[in-house]
Amino acid sequence: MRILLTNDDGYDQPGLLELENSLREKHEIWVVAPLHHCSGASHALGLYTSMELKNEGEGFRKWSLEGTPTDCIKIALMEIMKDNPPDLLVSGINPGSNLSNNILYSGTVAAAMEAALWSIPSIALSVRISAHGEKPFFETASSALDTLIENDINIKIPNGTVINVNVPAIKFSEIKGWKWTRMAQFSADIPFREIEPGRVFAYDRYRSLPVINPDGTDVDAIQKHYVSMTLLDVNRTSTRKPPALELTDGSL
């Protein structure tokens, strides 16, 4: 299978290298990833700057791009792989889970969403970090991906969707199972730190936050040592009934 890899942490980061090393023996691997760390970039584009594309492969199909994760997918599909598109896109392995509200800010998820927008089967892959400074369980996440690939996930993902996979911070043998989940919603947000009162602020360190109605959510599954899989749709049109509005032309 031809697999395109990317991330939002940088082309030389250990989560991406874990995927390269674990997949290369059985699959044709291509890598296009940001030159710099882009965590929290969401679906941003480098519209107003030029972007250098550099071959980092040393014999392999690997490039760094001085742009965002979304830029990486666009240049991979429109330039580098335009004549031989991937059978699967995997974005990750992100060191830290992408759950609940954080899905909206994640460059890891955004890269997968961009590929899915162009009908490429796509997975965003993240692993939880349970304590500050703890080494991420990248091998657990890699084994989870292997299991999905062995189950022909590339031909089973509905067109225009992404599977957002989050893996608990445990050994693969200790995982209790797999759950299809829904995106949670935090009931609070990460506070700011005042560096200079009233003038200079920074986000506080990430912390676990309470969830509204946790049953069946991605957060709940991870906390209970399950692999969480959330199906995300690139079409953001709501399925809810629009509100009745009385406008001047009477059309609604």
Q: Tens digits of per-residue pLDDT, 186-209? A: 888 878 888 998 889 888 876 677
Q: What pLDDT shows up at residue 249?
A: 64
What secondary structure letter does DSSP report for 234? Answer: S
pLDDT recorded at residue 40:
86
pLDDT score recorded for residue 36: 93
The answer to whether position 114 is within a domain reads: yes
- Residue-level pLDDT at 245: 80
pLDDT of residue 209: 79
Domain that holds residue 66: 2-188+215-233
**For residues 196-221, b (16+ Cβ closer than 10 Å) or e, as one string?**
eeeeeeeeeeeeebebeebeebbbbb
Decide if 210 is inside a domain.
Answer: no
Segments of the chain with pLDDT less than 70? 131-133, 206-207, 248-252
What CATH number should be reported for the domain holding residue 224? 3.40.1210.10
Task: Identify whether 249 is part of a domain.
Answer: no
Q: How far is CA 245 from CA 14, 29, 242, in A?
A: 52, 51, 9
227 residue type, one letter: V
Residue 61 included in any domain: yes
- Does residue 84 belong to any structural domain of this protein? yes
Domain count, the chain: 1
Quickly list H helices, 132-204: 138-150
Return the structure tokens found at 216: 């069946």
- pLDDT tens-digit profile of 78-105? 999 999 999 999 999 999 999 999 999 9
What is the structure's pLDDT at 133? 65
Instruction: Return the beta strands (E) in 100-153 as ranges.
Output: 122-127
